[in-house]
Amino acid sequence: MTRSAAPLTQDTTARERLEPALHALLTASDDDERATLARLREELGAAAWRTGVTDVVYTTVPSPVGPLLVATTARGIVRVAYEREDHDRVVTALAERVGPRVLRADEPLAEAASQLEQYFAGELRRFDLPLDLRLAAGFRREVLDQLTRIDFGRTLSYAEVAMASGHPRAVRAVGTACARNPLPVVVPCHRVVRSDGSTGQYVGGTEAKTTLLALERSGGTTAGSR
Partner 1 sequence: MGTSRIPLLERLPHVQPFDRLVTDHGALVLRVCRATVGATDAEDAWSETFLSALHGYPELPPDTNVQAWLVTLAHRRSVDLLRRRARQPVPTDRLPDRPSPDGAADSSAMDADLYRELGRLTERQRLCVVYHHLGGLPYREVAALVGGTEAAARRAAADGIKALRATLLVTEGAQR
Cα angle 152-153-155, degrees, rounded to a multiple of 5: 100
What is the residue type of 28?
A
Catalytic residue selected from 71, 189, 192, 203: 189
Neighbours of 22 (CB within 10 A): 11
Report the 3 state secondary structure along 138-174: HHHHHHHHHHCCCCCCCCEEHHHHHHHCCCCCCHHHH
Q: Which residues sit at the interface with partner 1, rule CB under 8 A?
A: 4-9, 11, 14-15, 17-19, 21-22, 24-26, 28-30, 32-33, 36-37, 40-41, 43-44, 47-48, 53-54, 56, 91-92, 94-97, 99-104
Cβ atoms of 58 and 102 closer than 8 Å:
yes
Tell me the closest approach of the beta carbon of residue 99 to partner 1, in angstroms.
Answer: 7
Cα dihedral 51→128→204→69 (10° resolution): 20
Cα separation of 130 and 120, whole Å?
Answer: 19
**CB nearer partner 1, residue 6 or residue 225:** 6
Question: Measured on CA atoms in the order 122, 174, 82, 58, is the torsion positive or negative?
Answer: negative
Catalytic residue check, 189: yes
In this structure, are strands 102-104 and 77-81 parallel, antiparallel, or unpaired? unpaired
- Catalytic positions: 189
